[in-house]
Amino acid sequence: MPPIILICSQDAELYLLLAHILRSEGFEARLAVSDDDVADACASAELCAVVLDCAGWPSDVAPLCSLLKDSGLPVGALVGGDMRAEHLQLIKAGLDEGIARPMSPSKLLAFLHGINPRAEASTLPSFAAPTEIVFGPHTVVVSGKRIALAPIEMRILRFLLERQGQISTREQLIEAVWPDPHTVESRTVDVHIGRLRKAFAGLRNLGIRTVYGAGYVLDYHDH
């Protein structure tokens, strides 16, 4: 059965376009036009991810995003250039990916393929870290502990691992991690780093250190 993507939109033409794009990439689209539709879809279908079209949605999208994240679903949002405040609220609510309108199909597909990789879970080479880290579709296992991470945070962690011990600037992270770096602000990086730190809070051998005025460093300890 194809992975099901829930499209939350009041724009019928946009939905039909997205459904066509998704079908050609092996996904199945479902439409929701209200918060009640979203709740029904979450209860009745095995959803893979949710795409929120923020333009014209009949209620505040930030609480809806938070509810979806609490259900363990990856969430992407289509946001206009005049929605900077709403975009930040969505990030605080757990948004995985913001996609600027007019929409880039390649960015949408990069997000969806990122949360539904075709490859099986892989282990990073031993030189990448002194402790075993295994990446799966929605989780990372560190020293036997399974941690759920958003796709964008998975990519940030991979990048920091590749540069362990080195300072990574916000600009380097934006260029390496985001499909459309020109739309990303430094504050967005800080929010995602904060969420990674929260996810790693129970681990003594893994942490992200801030180098004031420079960037971030991933730190490991053997014990």
Whether the predicted model's global pTM rises above the 0.75 cut: no
104 in Cβ contact with 173 (< 8 Å): no
In this prediction, residue 127 has a pLDDT band, given cuts at 50, 70 and 90, of: very low
What 3-state DSSP class applies to 104? Answer: coil
The whole-number pLDDT of residue 51 equals 95
Q: Which residues pair with 206 in a beta bridge?
A: 220
- What is the C-alpha to C-alpha distance for residues 64 and 38, in angstroms, rounded to an integer? 9
* Parallel/antiparallel/unpaired status of strands 122-123 and 47-53: unpaired
The whole-number pLDDT of residue 71 equals 75
Per-residue pLDDT reduced to its tens digit, 74-84? 899 999 878 88
Torsion over CA: 94, 97, 98, 101 (sign): negative
Say if residue 124's pLDDT is above 60.
no
What φ, ψ does residue 158 adopt, rounded to 5°? -60, -45
In this prediction, residue 116 has a pLDDT band, given cuts at 50, 70 and 90, of: low
Look at residues 94, 152, 89, 146 and name the one whose alpha carbon lies nearest to residue 121. Answer: 146
Mean pLDDT of 85-112: 87
- What is the C-alpha to C-alpha distance for residues 89 and 75, in angstroms, rounded to an integer? 13
The whole-number pLDDT of residue 121 equals 35
What radius of gyration, in Å, describes the C-alpha atoms of the chain?
18
In this prediction, residue 69 has a pLDDT band, given cuts at 50, 70 and 90, of: confident
- Percent residues over pLDDT 90 in the chain: 21
169 in Cβ contact with 193 (< 8 Å): no
In this prediction, residue 143 has a pLDDT band, given cuts at 50, 70 and 90, of: confident
- Percent residues over pLDDT 70 in the chain: 89
Number of helical H runs and strand E runs in the chain: 8, 11
Structure tokens at 192: 């995602």
Q: How far apart are the first and last CA of the chain?
A: 43
